[in-house]
Structure 1
Amino acid sequence: MAGHIGRRLRKGATTTAVAAAAVAALSASQAPGVTPLAGGTGDQPPTGAGTANSAADAPGGSATGDSPYFTDLPPLKTPAPVTPGSTPPPVGAPVVTGPAEAGIPATVLAAYRGAEAHLRSTDPGCNLPWQLLAGIGKVESGQARGGQVGPDGTTFTPILGPALNGVGFARITDTDGGAFDGDTVHDRAVGPMQFIPSTWATWGRDANGDGRRDPNNVHDAALSAGLYLCANSRDLAVKADLDQAILSYNRSTEYLDTVLTWFDYYRDNSHQVPDGTGVLPVDRSDQNPVTPRPGAGLGGTPLPTAPPLTTTPPAPQPGRESKPPKPDPKPKPPAPRPTPPPVTPVPRPPKPTPAPAEQVDRLKDATAGTLTATAGARFEVRPAVTAVDAKGKPVGGVSVRFVVVGDTDTRFPDGAATATVLTDADGAATAPRLQAGEQAGHFTVRATVVDRDLPALDRPATVTAPEADALVRTDDGELTAQPEGEFGAPVTVQATRKGAALADVPLTATLVATAEATEAAGKGPYFTDAAGKPVRTLSGLKTGKDGTLTLPALRADGESGAFLLKVTAEGGATLTIQLKVA
């Protein structure tokens, strides 16, 4: 840690111009289209995840293979005093300021906050702060190379770590056929959060809803890193769990100290800057500490600089005596004072782009159908919304929270009543498919924009009564009566589903002439209504808690013979009972 503090006392900040020169120097030294990241690292799968190739072969069990990482530290909150014998910065050198180092590119910051919001709803016990993701993102990739990402959060060129070929790193042979890292011989860490392919295969998630799990997309990478850090039921509010989570990325105490330093710094100092203007890191863990200076490229590679000013008079040449200059007999007029060059106004920095959530004016309903399901079944239609700005244009990268509101046991697939989804490039967010419980009734799915006080969008939903697959009589007695008489035994039926009794099943009882008939017969046995008049169809009946229903008393008219009573459950199950009048 002493080495870190030493660097903090002597490090200065990098201006936007120096950051641009660093990117140019880095790009010029690599193959077109791919920018290998010198500080690339991966991550460590939890116990039971990953393969021997990605864990057992790595020294110390590190899934990163101890790849290098950026060791730059944030500036101190107060300027450090100049000690005797220290070397002052060169004349005209840019001055490091806290606000510049505290800037996080807008899209990258939105990805960190979106991941925190998702974990807050799906795994609240983890207590993941977005500043931890920012600290790791700074150390692993310099916040996606200062925010060099497109509107959807994908880096302009892939970010790749060194080949893990066993030379200075772990030896990890190819596990993905080059699908993620483009290397079919060895694995490399990939993307803004530097996952190795075998770990990405386990933890990679599609956070922006584009149907792909892309380690070079900052939204996908941030959410996947959050899930990875929360693995093994960690509570990151507990110091021991926090340290363990960070060390699972790179098992180095200096790495732990570096990430924790940025984590603490971002909790007190952070603001949003436009994409592509973030401060780039300089020092790497596999190099000697480098003091930033004007024109220094990424990794300490010097760029052309102006020669230093000379203040010492030249030494006399050997063999020549120094003679005093002869006085000028005629005094010369004073030289004219040089005209200062015109002052070029410094252009104002571009106005920061507001975070995606700040751009949203409202949510529009995009649900394709009616939210209806039978008790115990899945909803076929999924709740969906579109986030738009004041001009009606879609806004991507927005965290939308869906909440099940009302007295119902309907839940999302993970058993939670809430789910947080990021809008895609078209501004669309679709909730996971709902699972209806056993309780019938009405409820609401409410959609809101996370961290914004905007009107909620409510969508009604209904769970209908469960459907019985069979109806049975609970007694076997013969049902007989004399003409103009009453059937002695009551009729009791039970509705079941997969052999289990089913409550609240709507039933209809109809006296019919034949088993195929759907209309009531015109003569024969009958029920009576409240006024005592004959009726041959009873609707609106429902089974009780034990799944049974006892029908009202049946009477016979003057007709003799065999008749039929048909009981039908909502959903199609039927029971036909024979009646005899003799």
Structure 2
Amino acid sequence: MAAQFGRRLRKGALATTVAAAAVAALSASQAPGVTVDTQGRQTAADAQATPEAAADDGAATGNSPYYTDLPPLNSPNPATPTPTPGASAGPVATGPVEAGIPATVLDAYKKAAAELAASKAGCNLPWELLAAIGKVESGQARGGNVDANGTTLSPILGPKLDGNGFALIQDTDNGAYDGDTTVDRAVGPMQFIPSTWAWAGRDGNGDGVKDPNNVYDAALAAGHYLCRNGWDLSTQADLNRAILSYNYSQDYLNTVLSWLEYYRKGTHEIPDGTGTLPANRSDGRHTSGPTTSPSAPTTPTPSAPTPQSPKPSTPSTPAPTPTDTVDHLKDVGTQTLTATAGQAFDGKISARAETKAGKGVGKVRVRFTVVGDTDATFTGGESVATVATDTTGVAVAPVLQAGEKTGGFTVRAVVVGRTVSAVDHAATVTARAADTLTRTSDTALSCTAGGEFADQVEVKATNGGAVADKVAATAMLVGSAGDTTENDKGPYFKDANGNAVRTLTGLETDANGLLKLPKLYADDTAGTYLLRITTTGGATLTVELTVTAAPTPDPTPSPTESASATASASASATPSA
């Protein structure tokens, strides 16, 4: 079923010299590890199908057939023709027909890439990659055969994955997406199989529904799928891994890379429903190829009677797959799952698929799902990960990363395509903590009664000697070292309204473990006071504050005393007769 990459003859092929020039032009711009085939298209000849790519999710499409047509050799950016004087205004073609992408489909790709740029900036997902995959999977939703909301006007379904020339994937959605209650089929413009859509599906158009038949939903889901595992698609190795994980085929990788290169050189928007359909599929099937625009109905011509076909033979029962032989799933050595908020869990999460006799079953997909009120995720930011079991039947989930929400939740393991009891793993996220607090300055803190302290209190939190960031803290003014209640006199903070406050809650250390308290003020009571700062984890620091009495002003003479003193001085100065 592999595509005959680089060997098929194409209609209207250019002369050898022109093809050679195209090859040279493409070669000059290739990324490391990328080569050019005999027709001048980008390939990854040295990209090997890695176990990581194969085992991670079993391919988004279930390795369903895909379109193998390649982009034309001519540039998608010819010079724009000069308008004819007096000609009516209208859309001007800015490239060959294959460079045109239906308007709604193009909009969906660009919006999905923009959302990923904000939520997973390190992935560096180009919208042209979504366009390349959309071209190969469904011919851009069958030439843009979608309504104004981006939903396909008719279902786009891949062949039955019944093991007859394709993978055998038994029904996982009770026919909800693909209409088949026996086996699964790839669905929609980006051709997700139901078991993958169950966790990868997204609502891309904000209507509250995750619909694989909607190009906005499917494009956003494809973007998140390609950006999992922490992949950076600006690097060739990660780009190859991501594409192979979508459909595990070297020819598929080469075909997508060719369209990616083509779209990067330029595309233009065309009306919905006017795009071209590819003509060849990897399973050898040929499609019509022109456009999806409906043609005028024709009157059928009567044909000669068709001889009665012989009675079909009863199909043979396919051999059971590894998944069919799984009797149960069990935990194998999963350690205690506890992590501090923001940190990775040390314990590995694993499950083993076994037959009734207890023998491990390899090549079985096990889906791990984070369940509960938590923001913990697996590596790459997803709450679901599907991993194939190894030869001993063991599947190990990716590293689990704690979020900021504390408390317990569950990681549930199930066998994809087989109804057996799930295995639950309990996990707990504890709050960020500090075990030590120290002042960043040794300056004594004092002021006069009724005044304000010149220096603000700043402390640094550490835990096990390391910086303790985002740790919750409380500051309280107390009367003595052993007092746990708030003092009702002495220094105080001010709230937003200028009122005296002697307890501050909801404080948090910054990225460097530092906490700087607001300015302190003193009432008119002199004395020595204590400020106690505590954090989650038990760190405590008591800071001494000194309030000195206001200085006593010099006594001012009364008016009577002043007048008497003046009179005496005057009399003494008068000469006697």
Bucket of the pairwise TM-score, normalised by the shorter protein = 0.3 to 0.5
Instruction: Give the TM-score normalised by structure 2.
Output: 0.44
